Amino acid sequence: MPPSSIDRDTTMPTLHNLGFPRIGQGRELKFALEHYWAGQSDRATLEHTGRQLRHTHWQQQAALDFVPVGDFAWYDQVLTLSATLDVIPERHRQGDTDLDTLFRVARGRDQQAACCHAASEMTKWFDTNYHFLVPEFEPDQRFRLAWRQIIDGTAEAKAAGFNPKPVILGPLSYLWLGKFSQGDSADKLDLLPRLLPVYRQLLAALKDAGATWVQIDEPILALDLPAPWQAAFEPSYHQIQVQGLNTLLASYFGPLQDNLGTAIQLPVAGLHIDAVRGASEITRVVDRLSAHKVLSVGIVDGRNIWRADLDAALATLKPLHAKLGERLWLAPSCSLLHLPYDVERETTLPADVKPWLAFAQQKLDELTLLRDALLSPGHADIQARLADARAIQTARRDSPRVHNPALRKRLAALKDSDALRATPFSEREPLQQQRWQLPLLPTTTIGSFPQTPEIRKARAAYKRGQLNKHDYNSLMRAEIKRAIVIQEQLGLDVLVHGEAERNDMVEYFGEQLDGYVFSAHGWVQSYGSRCVKPPIIVGDISRPHPMTVEWATYAQSLSDKPVKGMLTGPITLLCWSFVRDDQPREHTAQQLALAIRDEVQDLEAAGIGIIQIDEPALREGLPLRNSDWPTYLAWAAHAFRLASSGVGDSTQIHTHMCYSEFNDIIEAISALDADVITIETSRSNMELLAAFEHFAYPNQIGPGVYDIHSPNLPSQAWVESLIEKATARIPRQRLWVNPDCGLKTRTWDETRAALAIMVNATKALRQKWLKAPLSAA
Ligand SMILES: Nc1nc2c(c(=O)[nH]1)N[C@@H](CNc1ccc(C(=O)N[C@@H](CCC(=O)N[C@@H](CCC(=O)N[C@@H](CCC(=O)O)C(=O)O)C(=O)O)C(=O)O)cc1)CN2
Ligand SMILES: [Zn+2]
């Protein structure tokens, strides 16, 4: 970080950060965890890596007035808090909580793999691609301070000479995000009276460890909250006050809207607001803020990688600074967990694009510059740096990279009918059945097969130039052949090529589309040790050449059974990329849809007649406020149909979704008009099918019959019982049998064994139904 150019001043705004990435610039935490889990290193080694990372990260934030503590987590920050509060499911307890306890909750097993109980559920963190571990409560849940990681971290930062600001999730958001392990009849708010004293105890311990400020995150303030939840805030925050410890209440990911009154009145010392997504309400907040409170303005975008428009930011900040003076704090809009570390490390980004980008480190630099510009606007050095920033904005806006006139013309010429299949499903279905002749309960998989270390090594060598294209392609073809042979041996009905050639289902497509750039080191944690490197959409999207046709036709040439073409849909490409901020997301989605449409049509022309377009992020893309849903769902479904509708009636379009609360979006799912949808359902015991039943969903469905996240094998009886359960809700003629999701994170042994069980269960049911056809639904 460049040194600040100004001297301290009595009206100086405080600089702080809501959270920093934790996985390590070189993904050190990922590798340390995976070594530890594999039994290749001991706990002391893992702990050493963690300590080094924390210190490195504090050092990188040393120019701030506070460094965050508690943003470091061994697996997930919500899980850390659960351990802190002793919310550990009974099945994972073994004596006192330690690191292995956390890993048992998260992964269903510990280092010794001694225990094989179901892992806790993982779900998406608001509208991000980060997953947290859902706290599991019992109706008689007790809380107690049982894990001192955040307290020890605070003392550790203090001892190392930093000014620590612990960050914890607030009691209301914590309860909101959790669930009762047995159904949801009880009211989570009933747990508050038992929870709050432990929060207070935790805060007192943080103070004793040297904290003067604590940041309490209540991101649910960006959601539509039921009145009892709104009302619970004020009394709760009264109860957890600790003398001599200042509380900064942080909301982010959206405007406060009807929660503004709640947030502004809380007995806290300060409020953090997301001034990027909530820009429109800054003035209202300032007007109502009491005179003793600080206001932390989240002025640079913590969710995206663009350099800020500093002139616009200063225009916002100047009146706030004039009014608040040193009560003004500056921060990113949210934790920087969702960004890579440092754009300066990038060596392969196009030279013209690199200056447009700000990763975590650059976001903090922007804060320093903003503060300096507020205090010493006339300083020559500051003027020069602001001028540089201005030139970057202009260069980006005018870059030919951003504008593709041919694409714009194509968009303008689109007709409504381009986003509709020519024939309704009821007429397509018999044509498809005639063409494909599939048995009752067709079996298939979701696309990916194990990404073995050999595949990853080959790709790494290819990218480093140590393996030529021909040899790399031969190796990937060998992997595809292996996948096809195994699927034929298993007796699956609709095969896949296995996605060996893909580093990731989004990055792979990003790398082949014009309008994208990609980083070499821009890793972001997705869950636990798993990371993604989101590609970056900088301009109008177009597809210079087919992306998957060669692999798909090669795979199909190896089998007489149909092999599904496999694509990622426009909404998932949008959600899992860093997107441009200079046009509405729906326009970008439409451009992506056109590129996928071209690919779908090329696959069809090459003889691939079953094509899956994955949309696992459809649900995650939902805006946080209900009032914004209809608009989003309309353009999202339109984008999917634009991608999928350019094919003949007998071409069968599949889609796949995981992580979905289908109740919320069943109409939109129906509006996709996919011939077949495969969904994640096994962990909910097929309960998720209720939405499809109630809505009388007309098309075909493959409810997942086993959880691919766990290495544990399902039993055949269990799989049969799940399929039978599904037939209670969906007519058997419309059911498919498949796993919950892709198998890339599993080993081949696990995959083969689980799929054999799935196929045997299917065959057994087909037999049973032949003998007793009258039990048909
Ligand atoms: N973008 C995205 N989001 C998603 C999912 C998804 O599949 N993609 N799935 C859901 C769950 N999230 C997931 C996220 C990541 C992974 C995952 O497996 N990630 C891999 C990385 C995948 C990848 O990009 N692999 C690259 C690079 C692999 C790598 O680390 N290579 C080494 C070298 C390899 C070696 O020598 O062994 C290196 O670069 O240092 C490749 O295969 O080419 C990991 O963390 O390990 C799984 C699920 C939701 N969100
Ligand atoms: Zn999936």
Q: What is the pLDDT of residue 777?
A: 43
- Hey, whose CA ends up nearest to atom 50 of ligand 1? 129
CB 147 within 8 A of CB 83: yes
Q: Are residues 333 and 465 in the same domain?
A: no
Shared domain for 444 and 549, answered yes or no, is yes
Cα–Cα distance list, 633 to 12, 123, 277, 363, 420 (Å): 45, 20, 20, 32, 16
Classify residue 629: in a domain, yes or no: yes
Atom of ligand 1 nearest to the CA of 742: 7
555 and 679 part of one domain: yes
Does residue 717 come out as left (phi exceeding 0), alpha (psi in the -120 to 50 range) or beta?
alpha
For residues 475 and 335, membership in a common domain is answered with: no
Which residues are bridge partners to 271 per DSSP? Answer: 249, 295
- Distance (angstroms) between ligand 2 centre and the Cα of 740 equals 7
Q: Which atom, in ligand 1's list, is nearest to the CA of 461?
A: 36
pLDDT at 8: 59
- 318 CA distance to ligand 1 centroid (A)? 43
The per-residue pLDDT for range 488-544, each reduced to its tens digit, is 999 999 999 999 999 999 999 999 999 999 999 999 999 999 999 999 999 999 999
* 4 falls within a domain: no
**Pocket of ligand 1 from Cβ distances under 6 Å:** 129, 451, 453, 456-457, 459-460, 503-506, 526, 530-533, 576, 745
Q: What is the mean pLDDT of each run of 10 residues along the chain (777 residues)?
A: 57 96 98 96 98 98 98 98 97 94 90 72 94 95 98 98 98 97 83 98 98 98 98 98 98 98 98 98 98 98 98 98 97 98 97 98 98 95 97 97 96 97 98 98 98 97 97 98 98 98 98 97 97 98 98 98 98 98 98 98 98 96 96 98 98 92 89 97 86 93 92 92 96 97 96 98 96 60
User: What is the complex's ipTM, to 2 decimals?
Assistant: 0.97
Is residue 302 packed enough to be buried (19+ CB in 10 Å), middle (13-18) or exposed (0-12)?
A: buried
Do 71 and 199 reside in the same domain of the chain?
yes
514-517 and 536-542 strand pairing:
antiparallel
Same-domain check for residues 260 and 121: yes
179 class by beta-carbon count within 10 Å (0-12 exposed, 13-18 middle, 19+ buried): middle
Distance 506 CA to ligand 1 centre (A): 10
What tokens appear for 490 in the block?
């298993």
The Cα diameter of the chain in Å comes to: 88
Q: Which two tokens mark 39?
A: 């039994």
Task: List the catalytic residues.
Answer: 709
Q: Which atom of ligand 1 is nearest to the CA of 530?
A: 45
- Give the ligand whose atoms come closest to the C-alpha of residue 499: 1
Ligand 1 atom with least separation from CA of 529: 45
424 part of a folded domain:
no
Residue with the smallest CA separation from ligand 1 atom 47 is: 530
| Domain assignment of residue 6, yes or no | no
Query: Which of 501, 605, 601, 493 has its CA nearest to residue 551?
Result: 501
Of the three residues 274, 306, 341, the one that is the final residue of a domain is: 341
Say if CB 122 and CB 527 are below 8 A apart: yes
Work out whether strand 164-169 and strand 14-15 pair parallel, antiparallel, or are unpaired: unpaired
Q: How many domains does the chain have?
A: 2
CA of 81 to the centre of ligand 2 (A): 28
The reported pLDDT for the residue numbered 776 is: 45
Q: Confirm whether 346 is domain-assigned.
A: no
Of 639, 760, 702, nearest to 496 by C-alpha is: 702
How many CA atoms are closer than 13 Å to the CA of 547, on its beta-carbon side?
26
For 143, residues 6+ apart whose C-beta sits below 8 A from its C-beta are 85, 86, 87, 191, 194, 195, 197, 198
Supply angle C-alpha 451, 457, 458, rounded to 5: 95
What span, in angstroms and rounded, lies between the C-alpha atoms of 402 and 411? 15
Residue nearest to atom 29 of ligand 1 (CA): 456
Positive/negative CA dihedral, 85, 91, 96, 98: negative
Cβ(564)–Cβ(612) under 8 Å? yes
Gap between the Cα atoms of 324 and 598, Å rounded: 54
Q: Which domain holds residue 592?
A: 430-506+545-771
**Minimal-distance CA residue to ligand 1 atom 40:** 460
Residues 465 and 326 in one domain: no
Q: pTM above the 0.90 mark?
A: yes
- CA of 644: how far to CAs of 243, 370, 416, 591, 634, in Å? 60, 46, 14, 14, 15
> Cβ(183)–Cβ(143) under 8 Å?
no
Q: Are residues 290 and 437 in the same domain?
A: no
Q: Which of 321, 341, 361 is the last residue of a domain?
A: 341
HEC string of 539-602 equals EEEECCCCCCHHHHHHHHHCCCCCECEEEECHHHHHHCCECCCCCCHHHHHHHHHHHHHHHHHH
| Residue 143 backbone dihedrals phi, psi, to 5 degrees | -120, 145
Tell me how far the alpha carbon of residue 280 is from its chain's centroid.
Answer: 26
Do residues 444 and 325 both lie within one domain?
A: no
- pLDDT of res. 605: 98
State the binding site for L-methionine.
Answer: 446-448, 499, 614
Q: Classify 88 as helix, strand or coil.
A: coil
pLDDT at 467: 98
Domain boundary among 313, 341, 369: 341
CB atoms within 10 A of CB 118: 14
The pLDDT of residue 774 is: 54
Q: How far is the CA of 674 from the centre of ligand 2 (A)?
A: 16
In a domain, 206, yes or no: yes
- Summarize pLDDT for 166-202 with one digit per residue, the tens: 999 999 999 999 999 876 678 999 999 999 999 999 9
* Claim to verify: residue 590 and residue 459 sit in the same structural domain: yes
Query: Under DSSP, is residue 137 helix (H, G, I), strand (E, B) or coil?
Result: strand
Do 581 and 474 reside in the same domain of the chain? yes
Residues in binding site = 27-30, 124, 129, 446-448, 499, 530-531, 576, 614, 620, 656, 658, 680, 741
Asked if residue 398 belongs to a domain, the reply is no
Nearest ligand to the C-alpha atom of residue 574:
1
Decide if 557 is inside a domain.
yes
CATH number (domain holding residue 606):
3.20.20.210
Statement to judge: residues 450 and 321 lie in one domain: no
d(CA 532, CA 454): 19
Task: Write down the pLDDT at residue 4.
Answer: 57
